[in-house]
Chains A and B, each alone.
Chain A
Amino acid sequence: MSEKAVAENTGKMKKVFDKPETLNDQQFSYCPGCHHGVINRLIAEAIDELGIQDTTVGTAPVGCSVFMYKWFDIDVIQPAHGRVSAVATGAKRARPDLTVFAYQGDGDFASIGTNNSAHAANRGENITTFFINNTLYGMTGGEMAPTTLIGQKTTTSPQGRTAKDFGYPMKMSEMLAELDGPTYITRQAVYDVKRIDQAKAAIKKAFRFQMEDKGYSLIEFLSACPINWGMDPAEANERIREEVEEVYPLGDIIERS
Chain B
Amino acid sequence: MGEKKLMRGNEAIAEAAIRAGCRNYFAYPITPQAELLQWMAENMSEQENGTFLQAESEIGAISMVYGAASTGERTMTSSSSPGISLKQEGISYIAGSELPAVIVNIMRGGPGLGNIQPAQGDYFQATKGGGHGDYRLIALAPSTVPEAAELTFEAFNLADKYRNPVIILADGMIGQMMEPVELPSPVDTSDFPSKPWATTGKNGRKSNTIRSFALGAEDLKSINQDLQEKYRKIKEAETRYEEIGVEDPDVLLVAFGTVARIARSTRRLAKEEGIDVGIFRPITLWPFPGDRLSELSRKVDTVFTVEMNAGQMVEDVRLSINSDINTPFYGEQGGVVPDPSRILEEVKKYV
Chain A interface residues toward B at CB < 8 A: 53-57, 59, 66, 69, 72-80, 83, 86-95, 98, 115-116, 118-119
B53 in contact with A89 (CB, 8 Å)? yes
Interface residue from B26, B89, B201, B211 paired with A78 (Cβ < 8 Å): B211
| Proximity bits, B192-223, A CB within 8 Å = 1, else 0 | 00000001111110011111110000000000
How would you classify the secondary structure of chain A's contact residues: helix, strand, loop or mixed? helix
Q: Take A54-B203, A75-B199, A115-B57 as given contacts and tell me if A80 and B63 are in contact as well, using a CB distance cutoff of 8 Å.
A: yes
Residues of A within 8 A of B208 (CB): 75-76
Residues of B within 8 A of A98 (CB): 71, 200-201
B196 to chain A, nearest CB (A): 12
Cross-chain pairs A/B with CB under 8 angstroms, 25 sampled: A54-B202, A55-B201, A66-B213, A69-B209, A69-B211, A74-B207, A75-B200, A75-B202, A76-B199, A76-B209, A76-B210, A78-B213, A79-B93, A87-B66, A87-B67, A89-B63, A90-B24, A90-B67, A91-B199, A93-B64, A93-B67, A93-B68, A115-B60, A116-B59, A119-B56
A172 to chain B, nearest CB (A): 16
Residues of A within 8 A of B64 (CB): 86-87, 89-90, 93
A94 in contact with B207 (CB, 8 Å)? no
Number of interface residues of B (CB under 8 A): 39
A82 to chain B, nearest CB (A): 8
In the complex, A94→B93 CA distance in Å? Answer: 19
B300 at the interface (CB under 8 A from A): no
B70 at the interface (CB under 8 A from A): yes
Interface residue from A66, A74, A88, A118 paired with B67 (Cβ < 8 Å): A88
B75 at the interface (CB under 8 A from A): yes
B199 in contact with A57 (CB, 8 Å)? yes
B67 in contact with A78 (CB, 8 Å)? no
Residues of A within 8 A of B199 (CB): 57, 75-77, 91
B66 in contact with A83 (CB, 8 Å)? yes
B67 in contact with A79 (CB, 8 Å)? yes
B327 at the interface (CB under 8 A from A): no
Interface residue from A54, A79, A94, A116 paired with B68 (Cβ < 8 Å): A94
B178 at the interface (CB under 8 A from A): no
A122 to chain B, nearest CB (A): 9
In the complex, A95→B68 CA distance in Å? Answer: 8
A75 in contact with B73 (CB, 8 Å)? no
In the complex, A69→B73 CA distance in Å? Answer: 21
A186 to chain B, nearest CB (A): 24
In the complex, A173→B63 CA distance in Å? Answer: 23
B288 to chain A, nearest CB (A): 28
A-B contacts besides A78-B212, A83-B60, A94-B71, 17 pairs, CB < 8 Å = A54-B202, A54-B203, A57-B199, A57-B201, A69-B211, A72-B207, A74-B207, A75-B199, A77-B199, A78-B213, A80-B89, A86-B64, A87-B67, A87-B70, A90-B64, A94-B51, A94-B67
The 3 closest A-B pairs by CB, nearest first: A90-B67, A90-B64, A86-B63
Residues of A within 8 A of B201 (CB): 54-57, 74-75, 98
Residues of B within 8 A of A92 (CB): 67
In the complex, A13→B1 CA distance in Å? Answer: 70
Residues of A within 8 A of B24 (CB): 90, 93-94
In the complex, A72→B90 CA distance in Å? Answer: 24
B65 at the interface (CB under 8 A from A): yes
Residues of B within 8 A of A76 (CB): 199, 207-211
Residue of A nearest to B64 (CB): A90
Residues of B within 8 A of A93 (CB): 24, 51, 53, 64, 67-68
Q: Take A75-B201, A87-B66, A94-B75 as given contacts and tell me if A80 and B207 are in contact as well, using a CB distance cutoff of 8 Å.
A: no
A72 to chain B, nearest CB (A): 7
B216 to chain A, nearest CB (A): 13
